[in-house]
């Protein structure tokens, strides 16, 4: 098979790669960019361009908290009108700490916004984005795996599992960071294990959640409940490494009883739990995220603790910044992978990335550690947040993804 030359190759068609593919639509149209998206996992069958046509909402779906800032980005991509059909608005964020008095409530009303954020099934987001990709003039290679990547004088050469070879001026690694491609290019990562695992499941709750997202901090790690459509909520329950196995092994009734004891009755009795999934947690950051002909996005660039709900939101801002950089660069006659453009992109991203990583890592360390000296600081932190208006607003604005 021959070699196909493209301007941009996106490795990975997950939430981040697919968002980038959609965001590139105007540039494909205006500048005739040749774009390929390569996704290793076969997609569930989807008939036609209506993503809802054969969508089966599942009790077991994983969902993500999408910030208000991300909603604006999805609006810019023209995808929000579809996405909102399965979204649940977060009207209040309730932050508390086990064994301490005091809770912090952040409300959409006091912030003067319609919602603080939204909770969206990942499968639904994927469907909507993939349906849009299918309508675009790009080369959608799925299922196909990028087996190897090699630098060329201008860009990179990619060998695909289906026998094809691509030469791309700009390669965007959006592969989630587990394929080894980054390492093959000599890009190392900094890994800080949290010594924790997140147990994820969908719950049915006894009382209406009224759009409240709960974050509860406990000595063994934080627990979050996010509102879903109907009387369902998404549970993200952090455990000290190793301890999640005992919780996993419980039958449903015993699991719900243990959760009830840890969380209390704020949403009534927990009635049902779906499939439980466990994710080991670490902070992983790539030491380099841009070079001539290469950009690293999403989990490949940064994998954060999920409790602050920031990973995808941060990644989507990276997607939008990359597209803005490319847009102005192309207008000035640059090629997509030019060093000057990649430097501009990195300069745009650095501060936001640094701030969000520091914010979510700090949140875990401040509330998640069990140390006698920290307990007062934690309580003061919560009460302090309640008292100190500007600080509380900053916290809310960052959670909403509209403060960098
Ligand atoms: C438990 C948990 C809860 C979370 N909750 C939130 C939340 O509430 N809000 C939020 O903002 N973020 C959240 N996150 C983070 C969010 O899930 C990630 O930021 C997001 O999924 C990253 O998407 P991605 O596309 O970069 O990576 P992935 O989702 O891993 O996608 C990578 C894609 O690349 C493909 N691929 C891999 N290797 C190759 C290859 N060699 N060739 C071709 N394709 C390849 C894979 O098949 C995959 O489809 C959470 C994370 C976890 C673990």
**Assigned domain for 95 exists:** no
Span 202-227, pLDDT tens digits: 999 999 999 999 888 777 778 889 99
Mean pLDDT confidence for 258-286: 93
Q: Is 12 in the pocket of ligand 1 (CB under 6 A)?
A: yes
Contact 310, 354 (CB under 8 A): no
Dihedral of CA atoms 398, 400, 403, 404 in degrees, nearest 10, equals 70
**Assigned domain for 81 exists:** no
Higher per-residue pLDDT: 377 or 198: 198
What is the number of other CB atoms lying within 10 angstroms of the CB of residue 75? Answer: 13
**Assigned domain for 213 exists:** no
Taking the model in full, what pTM does it have?
A: 0.91
Q: Which of 42, 178, 235, 312 to mutate to test the pocket of ligand 1 (most atoms within 8 A of CB)?
A: 312
**Assigned domain for 7 exists:** yes
The alpha carbon of 257 and the centre of ligand 1 are apart by a number of angstroms equal to: 31
Closest residue to atom 26 of ligand 1, CA basis: 298
Helix (H, G, I), strand (E, B) or coil at 269: coil
Please state, in angstroms and rounded to a whole number, the distance separating the CA atoms of residues 98 and 220: 10
Domain containing residue 135: 3-41+123-188+283-361
- Tell which atom from ligand 1 comes closest to the C-alpha of 304: 15
**Assigned domain for 392 exists:** no
The strand pair at 165-173 and 189-205 is best described as unpaired
The pLDDT score that the predictor gives to residue 374 is 46
Higher per-residue pLDDT: 365 or 369: 365
What's the CATH number where 25 sits? 3.50.50.60
For residue 35, what are the CA distances in angstroms to 17, 78, 328, 403?
12, 19, 18, 31
Helix (H, G, I), strand (E, B) or coil at 233: strand
**Assigned domain for 307 exists:** yes
**Assigned domain for 238 exists:** no
Mean pLDDT confidence for 363-385: 49
The alpha carbon of 181 and the centre of ligand 1 are apart by a number of angstroms equal to: 16
**Assigned domain for 391 exists:** no
Instruction: Give me the number of domains the chain comprises.
Output: 1
Q: pLDDT exceeding 90 applies to what percent of the chain?
A: 65
The pLDDT score that the predictor gives to residue 44 is 66
């Amino acid at each position: 098979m021959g070699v196909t030359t493209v301007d941009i190759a996106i490795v990975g068609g997950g939430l981040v790669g697919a968002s980038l593919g959609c965001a590139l639509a105007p540039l494909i149209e205006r500048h005739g960019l040749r774009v390929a998206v390569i996704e290793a996992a076969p997609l569930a069958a989807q008939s036609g361009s209506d993503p809802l046509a054969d969508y089966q909402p599942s009790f077991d779906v994983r969902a993500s908290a999408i910030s208000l800032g991300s909603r604006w980005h999805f609006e810019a991509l023209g995808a929000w009108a579809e996405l909102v059909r399965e979204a649940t608005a977060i009207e209040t964020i309730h932050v508390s700490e086990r064994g301490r008095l005091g809770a912090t409530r952040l409300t959409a009303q006091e912030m003067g916004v319609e919602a603080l954020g939204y909770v969206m099934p990942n499968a639904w987001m994927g469907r909507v984005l993939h349906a849009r990709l299918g309508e675009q003039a790009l080369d959608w290679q799925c299922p196909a795996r990028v087996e190897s990547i090699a630098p060329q004088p201008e860009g990179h050469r990619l060998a695909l599992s289906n026998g094809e070879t691509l030469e791309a001026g700009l390669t965007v690694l959006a592969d989630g960071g587990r394929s080894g491609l980054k390492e093959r290019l000599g890009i190392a990562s900094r890994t800080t294990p949290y010594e924790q695992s997140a147990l994820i499941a969908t719950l049915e709750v006894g009382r209406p959640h009224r759009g409240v997202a709960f974050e509860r901090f406990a000595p063994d790690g934080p627990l979050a409940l996010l509102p879903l459509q109907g009387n369902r909520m998404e549970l993200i329950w952090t455990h000290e490494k190793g301890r999640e196995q005992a919780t996993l092994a419980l039958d449903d009734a015993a699991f719900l009883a243990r959760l009830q004891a840890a969380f209390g009755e704020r949403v009534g009795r927990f009635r049902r739990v779906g499939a439980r999934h466990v994710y080991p947690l670490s902070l992983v950051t790539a030491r380099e995220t841009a070079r001539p002909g290469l950009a690293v996005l999403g989990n490949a660039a940064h994998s954060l603790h999920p409790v602050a709900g920031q990973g995808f939101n941060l990644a989507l801002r990276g997607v939008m910044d990359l597209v803005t950089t490319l847009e102005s660069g192309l207008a000035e006659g640059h090629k997509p992978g030019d060093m000057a453009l990649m430097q501009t992109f990195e300069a745009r991203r650095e501060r936001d990335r640094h701030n969000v990583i520091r914010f979510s890592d700090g949140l875990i360390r401040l509330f998640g550690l069990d140390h006698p000296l920290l307990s007062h600081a934690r309580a003061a932190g919560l009460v302090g947040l309640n008292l100190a208006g500007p600080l509380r607003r900053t916290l809310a604005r960052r959670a909403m993804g509209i403060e960098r």
